[in-house]
Structure 1
Amino acid sequence: MDPWSWRKAKLRDRIQGVILGAAIGDAVGLATEFMNKDKAQRLYGDGPIKFGNANGHDFWRDGHRSRWHENDFTDDTDLAKRKVARYSTVHTHLNMSAFNLHHVLNPVVLQECARNWLKEDSPNFDLQAIVAGDQNILAKIFCKSAGVLAGVPFVNAIVKELECSVNWLFKEGEYVDASECSIEVAHVTGKGHCVLLAERLILNVLSRCSGVATRARRIRDKLTQFGWTGSLAGSRKTTPGFRLVEKYGLMVANVDPHRYDLGSMVMLKDNHITVSGSIKIAVDKVKTIAGFSTKIEVECRNIEEALEAASLSVDIIMLDNFTPDDLENTSKHIKRDFPHILTEASGGITEENVHRYAITTVDIISTSSLVQGYEAIDFSMKVSK
């Protein structure tokens, strides 16, 4: 990291620390400022106030959640609460950017992806290459809309395939606030015709992978603010041929990618059950080949199917297209009688209504909206003269 970036990072950490300390102090003081001691003890007890849980996601899990409801005391209290929630979110993001997620990607597969993408764009001739020639050039990549930077390993593979080099100015997983002006995120150097051959492909991968990561993080943060501590997951409804990139974007956002393919986990859906004749027949058949290390999930449409599947010792019950009320009732039944089984809510869940499914007895919320219909982040590349 260059000295200026290091100084900016340290300054950012110090500012966030000040915000956190001020927010906690304001919240504690304002919570009791407008009542006497007897009233405070009567309403909230005299137990200690705790700021933060084991995961660092919720600063208000102290057993007295009502004291922090919106507008309970003053606007300042609510502002303080939002400051702390914002700090928690930013702090988590910075930690995530420190992980070397590219290590989970097979380097051989990465290079195959890059090679196939380049062949798709230029299967025979690159007629524009005669203009750029062999002269060495520097091209700057700009982020032009706010979002989470993701897709770095794929860009690295593309650049490597063409014997160019890239220098990143942001870490993968960092939020690039380009809402008001374009921000440089990387520099690419190499022979002119090679850099320009890679240009559109680099931008396509970055914009889509960053789009997935941005939406996924936004939805995850929304669930965190509602105090839900389960796993947000994607689905297999990915773009054909682009699954690796989209699943990776979810991982950058600290969201579960769900099963990657049909061999990663058994998922018995309605059509499997219809063809086999019953949930029991389907589960018994698949257990003969799945092996002890493979999890089995059953998609259920009502409480009767869910309890039947649970009685067969499957690992996960997917409650598909349940209303929030039915979801809460069914998941409570499962957890009461089969506490070791995971419950998953799925079907019809969007960014707008996801909070309605943030139920304590639901372990997993999966939604295809994470990998379908996401808004691409705008990137551009400009050759430096």
Structure 2
Amino acid sequence: MTYYIPDHELCQILDEDIQVFDLTSHLLQIPATTGKLFYKARTACLASCTEEVARMLEILGLTASIITPSGVWAEKQQVLVEAVGPLNKLHVAWRSAVKILEYCCAVSTRAHKMLQQAQKLNPNISLAITRKNIPGSKKLALKAILCAGAYPHRMGLHDSILIFREHMDCLGGRDAFLKKFAEIRSTVHERKIGVEAHNIEEALLFASYKFDFIQLDKFKSTDVQELVPRLHELRSGIVVVAAGGINLENVEEYAGTGVDVIASSSVFHGKPADIGAEILPELVV
């Protein structure tokens, strides 16, 4: 995967943790003799952002190797990244890098499992992950979901048009907005426009307009199952998205409705991946 996070952003992550120096290593007079650092998966997970971790280690003056590239399944005790260099620098790198692996591998693993569960029942379904990542983690979180075969629902407000009830309220309500919709549609022919529906009646109404996709927000799976064929019949080619409260526990329930896309933010929430670090005081050749 070609993915770019500039060095200055990786340095910001290091600076947040290190700031000036490692007081513990300084006090203990950890030597600058050569050692080796390993990051291992204590439990099986989908590797993610190992390239960024390796680059962070290089920024700190270490020689790093990516053993398990992003997007590759790592079995228990499999090495993800390793580094060689002075022991005092290995200790500085240790925690700063491991927290990236713990977070990103957890996100990618949850997204991977969720997509697998959904595609068992609906092989053509897409899993779209929302922009509700932990603030400050957008680029790492985005790479983590791409590693799993999922895609961003919206990377940001700038890249898509999704109309909510709150937008309509500011334009005088739903009916007033719909009267203006043809004019709005004509100004952005090259962009897809989506709208969020909150009930069956509203979803069917929106299907009669030229929206490219309808997002069903917090619908029961039984209602989604009823609506999908009706919406496709009303508008050939319209994309139906199910969103709101969908997670690993109920994704199969929604995937089985025939919906085209499942949108979820649940992959960002949960336990970090169990990643272990081991430092060898002497370089073993």
TM-score normalized with structure 2 length: 0.88
Deviations 1:130-189, CA, capped at 9 Å, x for gaps: 3335433211212111211111122123123223221122232222221xxx33333111
**Distance between the aligned counterparts of 1:309 and 1:171, measured in 2?**
44
Inter-CA distance 132–312: structure 2 relative to 1 (3 Å threshold): farther
2:23 corresponds to which of 109, 124, 127: 127
**SS of the residue 1:188 aligns to:** strand
More strand per residue? 2
Q: Does 1:173 align with 2:71?
A: yes
Larger radius of gyration: 1
Deviations 1:112-145, CA, capped at 9 Å, x for gaps: 2211111111223332343335433211212111
Q: Does 1:161 align with 2:59?
A: yes
On the 8 A contact 1:238/1:371 being kept in 2, the answer is yes
- Percent identity over the alignment? 25
**SS of the residue 2:118 aligns to:** helix
**Where does residue 204 of structure 1 map in the other structure?**
99
Which moves more between the two structures, 190-199 or 144-153?
190-199
Give the deviation of 1:281 after TM superposition.
Answer: 4.8
**Where does residue 158 of structure 2 map in the other structure?**
263
**Where does residue 8 of structure 2 map in the other structure?**
112
Give the deviation of 1:280 after TM superposition.
Answer: 5.8
Report the residue type matching 2:104 in the other structure.
Answer: C
**Equivalence map 1:175-254=2 (5 Å):** 175-178=73-76, 182-254=77-149
Please list every run of 5 or more consecutive structure 2 residues that lacks an aligned counterpart in the other structure.
none
**SS of the residue 1:132 aligns to:** coil
Deviations 1:280-335, CA, capped at 9 Å, x for gaps: 65574793797333322111101222233333312210001111121122222210
On the 8 A contact 1:208/1:377 being kept in 2, the answer is yes
**SS of the residue 1:351 aligns to:** coil
**SS of the residue 2:14 aligns to:** helix
Aligned residues, how many?
277
**Distance between the aligned counterparts of 2:222 and 2:97, measured in 1?**
45
**SS of the residue 2:79 aligns to:** strand
**Distance between the aligned counterparts of 1:115 and 1:326, measured in 2?**
48
**Where does residue 194 of structure 2 map in the other structure?**
297
**Distance between the aligned counterparts of 1:357 and 1:305, measured in 2?**
20
On the 8 A contact 1:264/1:294 being kept in 2, the answer is no
**Equivalence map 1:133-148=2 (5 Å):** 133-148=31-46
**Equivalence map 1:1-385=2 (5 Å):** 101=1, 103=2, 105-106=3-4, 109-130=5-26, 131-178=29-76, 182-279=77-174, 281-282=176-177, 284=180, 287=184, 291-359=188-256, 361-373=258-270, 375-384=271-280, 385=282
**Distance between the aligned counterparts of 1:290 and 1:141, measured in 2?**
51
On the 8 A contact 1:267/1:297 being kept in 2, the answer is yes
**Distance between the aligned counterparts of 2:25 and 2:187, measured in 1?**
52
Which moves more between the two structures, 258-267 or 120-129?
120-129
Inter-CA distance 160–331: structure 2 relative to 1 (3 Å threshold): same
**Distance between the aligned counterparts of 1:228 and 1:348, measured in 2?**
21
More helix per residue? 1
**Distance between the aligned counterparts of 2:214 and 2:31, measured in 1?**
58
